[in-house]
């Protein structure tokens, strides 16, 4: 994204960690969605209405891929700026 090169190492690292959290949340939502899809599918045999509630759009997967792409790009910027994890952990070492 525009402006990533201007961000500090600490800001880049924080955004990468935030993306990791977002990916984990989306994975949990996928599990929850899949559970409900199974419930709706099974109950759909008794009453057809639940079949209309099945989510088959794969929107969470699309979001996860976007987060992974963004994370990959931020890692490149992080490396280009010669940032290190120890620099983040010990900001007063300079």
pLDDT digits (tens, 9 = 90+) for 55-83: 777 888 889 999 999 999 999 998 888 88
pLDDT digits (tens, 9 = 90+) for 38-55: 887 888 766 666 666 667
Rounded to the nearest 10 degrees, the angle between the axes of helix 9-43 and helix 59-80 is 170
Quick one: pLDDT at residue 94?
46
* pLDDT score of 19 more than 90: yes
On whether the CB atoms of residues 78 and 9 are closer than 8 A, the answer is: yes
* pLDDT score of 91 more than 60: no
């Amino acid at each position: 994204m525009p402006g990533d090169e201007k961000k500090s190492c600490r800001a880049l690292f924080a955004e990468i960690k935030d993306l990791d959290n977002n990916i984990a949340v989306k994975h949990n939502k996928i599990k929850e969605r899949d559970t409900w899809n199974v419930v709706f599918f099974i109950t759909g045999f008794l009453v057809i209405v639940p079949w209309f509630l099945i989510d088959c759009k794969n929107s969470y997967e699309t979001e996860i891929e976007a987060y992974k792409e963004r994370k990959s790009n931020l890692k490149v910027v992080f490396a280009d700026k010669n940032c290190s994890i120890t620099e983040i952990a010990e900001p007063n070492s300079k």
